[in-house]
Structure 1
Amino acid sequence: MDVVIYFSRQGENLVNGEIVRIDTGHTAMVAKIIACELGAELVPIIPLNPYPDGYQAAVELARKEAKYDARPHVRDLGIQWDRYERIFLGFPNWCGSFPMVIATLLEKQVLTGKRIYPFCTHEGGAFGKSLVELERLFPEAKWMPGLAVRGSRANKAGKAVTNWLAQRYEWEE
């Protein structure tokens, strides 16, 4: 059984080098496409203290959290992790890596043997160093090949998602 778990942020965002307001976060857009293709449960990661709506303020907070290796509190997802064989984990690339809410979430779970398919949205940095850092922090999980989608193209990611998902069974052999 599969689940799509993601963190996304709406509000002011960087799109094609300009700060614009978006009503749906880019990672949420890609997560919805993946969940639809898989017929999987779609579960958002929701911080207890929301990130600022303003882009610059959100970036500053993300930098501070990364610098201090913070673990921002998140709402309980309300899922039974042991039910899922494959976890599709989505996040934006913040400051060259993953948002710290991802570490908060994963540290509370037993990941031994879980196949985790990471996907991220970005505006030019792809995964940055996030995959290396996630594998170092959570070596008990089986980290599968990921999908990086430019945020400004998230609403047009259907074909990229389809192609990525078509390869997953080959990777699991």
Structure 2
Amino acid sequence: MKTKSLLSVIIIMLFIGSLNVCAQSSTNQKKALIVYYSLRNGNTRIVAEHIQKSVGGDIFRIETVNDYPSVYNEVTAQAKRELESGYRPPLKNKVKDFSQYDVIYIGSPNWWNTIAPAVMTFLESYNFEGKTIVPFITHEGSRLGASVTDIKKMAPKATVLKGLPVRGGSVNEAMPDVQRWLKDLGLIK
């Protein structure tokens, strides 16, 4: 009788252990998509590439139908008008089978204390319910601004993790900061 009881306990423990391994394995196999909007100088693109090198996953560049001006002051003036009016620029491209992704890294320059209008269009174009959003923002002194708060408002059914601000002038040297941030969030070891 004792042997049967002991055997039953061992079988139950093995079963519970296998469930735990399956749960860990499915957590580690979440599919990642790195989405970014970047101007020609590519600061946000560079950070997106650092993230992809660290976590793997697919990468997707948000592109607007009409390009922004090539002069930075004209870009910021246009962005200000768009933000004030609530304009959402149409996008050239779409993510194929967005539903396959679990973790979405979203990158944007900080324009007027928030994300670029093109990123707003992107956020309004997909269903983020049950997804995890990991924001990263390039800036020239304003850090995250209201970007993370605005992302949470636009994707209320997503889990939005702590964002990473990266100064535009230091994106090329940002890999250690990116990896530290990803480790702190538990997204890499």
In the alignment, the residues of structure 2 paired with residue 144 and residue 106 of structure 1 have an alpha-carbon distance, to the nearest angstrom, of 15
Contact 1:6 / 1:90 at 8 angstroms: preserved in 2?
Answer: yes
Equivalent in the alignment of 1:41: 58
Query: Normalized per residue, which structure has more strand?
Result: 1
Larger radius of gyration: 2
Equivalent in the alignment of 1:15: none
Contact 2:123 / 2:154 at 8 angstroms: preserved in 1?
Answer: no
Partner letter of residue 170 of structure 2? R
Partner letter of residue 176 of structure 2? K
Q: Which runs of 4+ in 1 moved over 4 A?
A: none
Deviates more, 1:68-77 or 1:150-159: 68-77
Contact 1:44 / 1:77 at 8 angstroms: preserved in 2?
Answer: no
Normalising by structure 2, what TM-score? 0.80
Unaligned runs of 5+ in 1: 11-23
In the alignment, the residues of structure 2 paired with residue 60 and residue 106 of structure 1 have an alpha-carbon distance, to the nearest angstrom, of 22
Q: Give 1:153-164 correspondences, 5 Å limit.
A: 153-164=170-181
Deviation at 1:167, TM superposition (A): 2.2
Of 118, 126, 130 in structure 2, the residue corresponding to residue 113 of structure 1 is 130
Deviation at 1:66, TM superposition (A): 0.4
In the alignment, the residues of structure 1 paired with residue 164 and residue 107 of structure 2 have an alpha-carbon distance, to the nearest angstrom, of 9
Q: Give 1:1-150 correspondences, 5 Å limit.
A: 1-10=31-40, 24-150=41-167
Q: Secondary structure at the match of 1:169?
A: coil
Deviation at 1:41, TM superposition (A): 1.0
Contact 2:109 / 2:139 at 8 angstroms: preserved in 1?
Answer: yes
CA-based RMSD of the aligned residues comes to 1.2
1:54-83 Cα distance to aligned partner (Å, 9 max, x none) = 011101100000000111001223421111
Query: Normalized per residue, which structure has more helix?
Result: 2
Q: How many correspondences in the alignment? A: 157
Unaligned runs of 5+ in 2: 1-30
Which structure is higher in RCO with an 8 Å CA cutoff and minimum separation 6?
Answer: 1
